[in-house]
Amino acid sequence: MSMLEGRSIIVTGAASGIGAEAARRFAAAGARLTLADRAANATIAEEIRETGGIAQFVAADVSDEAQVRAMVAQAVSAYGRLDGAFNNAGVDQQPVALHEVDLAEWRRVTEVDLTGVFLCMKHEIAAMLDNGGGAIVNTSSVLGAIAVPKSAAYIAAKHGVIGLTRAAAVEYARRGIRANAILPGAIATPMFADAEKDPAMAAQLEAVKEAHPINRMGTPAEIAALAAYLLSDAAGYTTGAAIPCDGGFTAT
C-alpha cells in the first residue's frame, strides 16, 4: 500500500513550486487532495487527475478566515474527512531595514505567512478532531531559525510558524494530531530559474549556493519528499519537530 493511500490531504500554495511538487508526490502516494491557492487559474489539480490521481482545486487566500473555513469544508465534503495538511502558502518580503518597514508591508507578509498558517491550523485541527486525528506539516524557513538583515517581517513570521507548530504538537498529541515544520533552505523554484538568466542575479545565486555546505540549491521534490514522510505513519513518533532541509546551511 502507498504511504498516503486514501488519505484526504490539503495542500496550500499548491499552484507552483514546492506546493505543486508536493501535490504530485502526495497523489503518487495515493492521497486524495484538496489543492488551494490564490491563483484561481491553477492547473495542478487537472494535471493530477489526468495522470490518474484524485484532486480538487479551491481558490483560497489563507489570510481570509472565511475562505480557509470553506477550503476545509470542501475537503471534508468531497472525501468525508480530513487526514492531513501541508500548509505551504507564503509570500516573500521586500528587502528593507526594520526601521523602514511600512506597516502595510508588515501586515501583507505576516497575514499570509503567520496568520494564514494559524487560520489553516485552526480549521484543519477542528476537522481532524472529528475523525480521531491527523497530521499537519507547516512550511517555515531556515529564517525561522536564524536571522539576516532586511527581512524582519518574514523572519518574525517564520519564527512564529515554528512556535505555532510546537504549540499545536503539545496541545493535540494526546488527541491523535501530530504537527511538524519544515525549514527549507534555498530551493530551485521557477522564480530562481528566471533570475539565473540575469548575469547580476546569477552571481548572487552562485553565492547563495556556496553558502550551503552541499554547494547547490535544493529542489521542490526534496521538500515534498520530507513532507510526505511527515504526513505518513512512518513518522508516527515525530511531532513538534522543526526540521531543516537546507543542505547544511543552519549547521554552519
154 is catalytic: yes
**DSSP tag of 91:** -
For helices 17-28 and 220-231, the axis angle rounded to 10 degrees is 50
d(CA 189, CA 139): 15
Q: Is-contact 32 84, C-beta < 8 A?
A: no
Half-sphere exposure of 219 (CA within 13 A, CB side): 5
**DSSP tag of 33:** E
d(CA 71, CA 60): 7
Options 154, 172, 229, 237, the catalytic residue: 154
d(CA 64, CA 244): 28
Q: Which residues are catalytic?
A: 154
